[in-house]
A and B are shown apart, each in its own frame.
Chain A
């Protein structure tokens, strides 16, 4: 039996992903990407993982898509990209995609995940994950925190502009 919600979400996700790749207008491509990410959040909701779904929306739609759209708006697209229509490239892309999808599908079918009854495990409890993370896996949490802090400091160091600051100091 096919779930209509699942089919709708799949059509939405894949369709907007195709729009994101194929459209001439970059801004519509960015919007298509955002809708595709929303569709993936819908899949997470279907899979009983509302926590992941909400973070998918907050991070990917709320932050990443906004960043991409912001960048696209400030870029003069004609100067950057020249559209090259080439039938051979298109056909090669489609064949490569079919090959990868077929390979992934075959792997999933062989792996035994599709046998009924293999998903009897209860839905994951977020509280339990949090407790495990603060007790047994606490070194991992600390390492993750350090990596993120390092990334933030590196971003600050990269974004810092010596010339502007010196000019400001002289002015003040």
Chain B
């Protein structure tokens, strides 16, 4: 039933909107309100915080919004909120979205181009939403000779593994999804899945270029995994713990580890570029050599999921760099002690946590910009030079700072009761 209005009249438009509002009000008062009251009075509601949520309390909340503060306070301390919203998926995905936009504008400005310009009028800030809609509405084409179960499972596994890595990052004191004792080893164990997924997906595509890309990804990531782990081990020696929160706290107690271990930080930065398959190490996706590498056969939302996973991984690695070398959330408290002076009710405003989140976000964003920078200025390097760099140079370099860390511990400068420990 395709039809369109030939003569548009503003009055009719307003009339149709009012008609819609009228019907919504009628249906809400006849069906919605009775349903709401049935639910409120007959279904036992869960206790929230200290007091049980009764229908009367609910109705007073609608009148007086400040009464909802204990409920909000209870909600933001549940596990679901942590996993889904703040230190978990939504925070990381927002980071990914902002990173994609900033990357495009930033690289364009570096190369004297405009970048996204039209969607959303102001500097094309809605380009990402438009791209997302396009990807969702596109058809997913699975190659006829592809191995279908692996082809469908690999992108989902990619996103979930990247989200699992992001879940281990502590954002503020106590604000971490999974605070485990062996945090840093868990991060490395999770990052070990990525070459497996890339290899399986490239094999399942059953095509030449993806398979070459997958083999390259495998070689590259395994070559850089060893300097990646060893450069983080010197941090573990200085901090004396494997827990990521503990590492941040030991940096707050002394100084940022990047001052003691600059070579480790450099090796970690290079290895994370290689893990992320970013220029100058984007050989698995080298578009001028092997079409698009291991993601050649992706289309529609499969491509979208792999891109989302890639940027979640970028966030996780940048945040890990901040946690290991830049002191995590350490920084001065910049928010005022209370927003409304003289307010003595239930409080959900905490200046310490807010400034911790602020500093962590700023630092992580800075590291992400540093990781985007080589894409604008550097060409791709050859695969044999890459493997030579990984196996011969970076491993040796990462060992240097391990000895520095041992000297600092045994010289009594850092570590328990060290000279520089405040």
Scan B180-197; emit 1 where CB is below 8 A from any A CB, else 0.
111001101110110110
A70 contacts B by Cβ under 8 Å: yes
B218 contacts A by Cβ under 8 Å: yes
| Contact count band on A | 10 to 19
Structural contact, B189 and A58, CB atoms closer than 8 A: yes
Given contacts A31-B200, A55-B185, A63 and B180 within 8 Å (CB-CB) = no
B268 contacts A by Cβ under 8 Å: no
Residues in A with CB closer than 8 Å to B316 are none
Structural contact, A54 and B186, CB atoms closer than 8 A: yes
Structural contact, A62 and B193, CB atoms closer than 8 A: yes
Distance A58 CA – B194 CA, assembled complex (angstroms) = 11
Distance A54 CA – B190 CA, assembled complex (angstroms) = 9
Given contacts A57-B189, A58-B188, A73-B203, A50 and B195 within 8 Å (CB-CB) = no
Distance A50 CA – B189 CA, assembled complex (angstroms) = 12
Given contacts A66-B218, A69-B199, A51 and B185 within 8 Å (CB-CB) = yes
Structural contact, B185 and A69, CB atoms closer than 8 A: no
A27 contacts B by Cβ under 8 Å: yes
- Decide if the interface of chain B is mainly helix, strand, loop or mixed: helix
Q: How far is the CB of B391 from chain A (nearest CB, A)?
A: 12
Q: How far is the CB of A39 from chain B (nearest CB, A)?
A: 15
A20 contacts B by Cβ under 8 Å: no
A17 contacts B by Cβ under 8 Å: no
Residues in A with CB closer than 8 Å to B193 are 61-62
Q: How far is the CB of A121 from chain B (nearest CB, A)?
A: 18
Structural contact, B181 and A50, CB atoms closer than 8 A: yes
**Total number of B residues with any Cβ neighbor in A under 8 Å:** 20
Residues in B with CB closer than 8 Å to A40 are none
Structural contact, A66 and B195, CB atoms closer than 8 A: yes
Residues in A with CB closer than 8 Å to B186 are 50, 54
Distance A69 CA – B193 CA, assembled complex (angstroms) = 13
User: Nearest chain-A residue to B185 (Cβ)?
Assistant: A54
Q: Which A residues from 109 to 139 make CB contacts under 8 A with B?
A: 126
Given contacts A58-B188, A58-B192, A66 and B199 within 8 Å (CB-CB) = yes
Structural contact, A66 and B203, CB atoms closer than 8 A: no
Q: How far is the CB of A63 from chain B (nearest CB, A)?
A: 7
Structural contact, B196 and A61, CB atoms closer than 8 A: yes
Contact of B196 among A27, A51, A66, A126 (CB under 8 A): A66
Taking each of A51, A61, A63, A70, which has the highest tally of chain B beta carbons within 10 Å of its own beta carbon? A70
Q: How far is the CB of B179 from chain A (nearest CB, A)?
A: 12
Distance A23 CA – B196 CA, assembled complex (angstroms) = 20
Residues in A with CB closer than 8 Å to B190 are 57
Residues in B with CB closer than 8 Å to A62 are 189, 192-193, 195-196
Distance A27 CA – B218 CA, assembled complex (angstroms) = 17
Structural contact, A51 and B182, CB atoms closer than 8 A: yes
Residues in B with CB closer than 8 Å to A66 are 195-196, 199, 218, 222
Scan B152-192; emit 1 where CB is below 8 A from any A CB, else 0.
00000000000000000000000000001110011011101
Contact of A63 among B147, B150, B192 (CB under 8 A): B192
Structural contact, B192 and A27, CB atoms closer than 8 A: no
Distance A66 CA – B186 CA, assembled complex (angstroms) = 18
User: Nearest chain-B residue to A50 (Cβ)?
Assistant: B182
Given contacts A61-B196, A69-B196, A27 and B185 within 8 Å (CB-CB) = no
Q: Which A residues from 15 to 36 make CB contacts under 8 A with B?
A: 27, 31, 34
User: Nearest chain-A residue to B202 (Cβ)?
Assistant: A73
24 CB < 8 A contacts A-B: A27-B150, A31-B200, A50-B180, A50-B182, A51-B181, A51-B182, A55-B189, A57-B189, A58-B192, A61-B189, A61-B192, A61-B193, A61-B196, A62-B189, A62-B192, A62-B195, A63-B192, A65-B196, A66-B196, A66-B218, A66-B222, A69-B200, A73-B203, A126-B181
Beyond the given pairs A50-B180, A51-B185, A61-B193, 11 more chain A to chain B contacts, judged by CB atoms under 8 angstroms and listed by A's residue number, are: A31-B200, A54-B182, A54-B188, A54-B189, A57-B189, A57-B192, A62-B189, A62-B195, A66-B222, A73-B199, A73-B203
**Residues on A facing B (Cβ under 8 Å):** 27, 31, 34, 50-51, 54-55, 57-58, 61-63, 65-66, 69-70, 73, 126
